[in-house]
Amino acid sequence: MLIYVEYITERLLYTLDFVFSERKIGYEITNDGIHFMSALGNKLNYSTREFDNCLQLVPASILFEEVIRFFTAHQSIFGEASSISVVLTVPQPSGTIHVLQSEHLHGVTVQ
């Protein structure tokens, strides 16, 4: 499988290795859009860029950060499905801001 990403980071490489290599699924990663568009076979677009005829997943921003941040995970029920919310604590001069992210709420800022 060929995976297109806009930026290649150590966190992204670690995550892809965990998801694919640990399960013995072969993959190749590229940030070359022309190569990705012309490639044959299974392709995954892990970016905000749009390509025709392939599966697209919008990336999680944490895989492209280079700093270490503190997260707290909370499991809850949304409808009848289990979900996980992640709270990122970001110290600021004016006080601490918590950013809530989950599969149902993305980028909602709470104080």
Q: Compute the average pLDDT of residues 16-39.
A: 91
Q: Is a pLDDT exceeding 70 seen at residue 40?
A: yes
pTM of the model: 0.58
Residue with the bigger pLDDT between 81 and 3: it is 3
| 5-70-81-76 Cα dihedral, nearest 10 degrees | -170
Strand arrangement, sheet containing 2-4: 28-30, 2-4, 43-45, 55-56
Q: Give the pLDDT score at 93.
A: 58
Q: Is a pLDDT exceeding 80 seen at residue 56?
A: yes
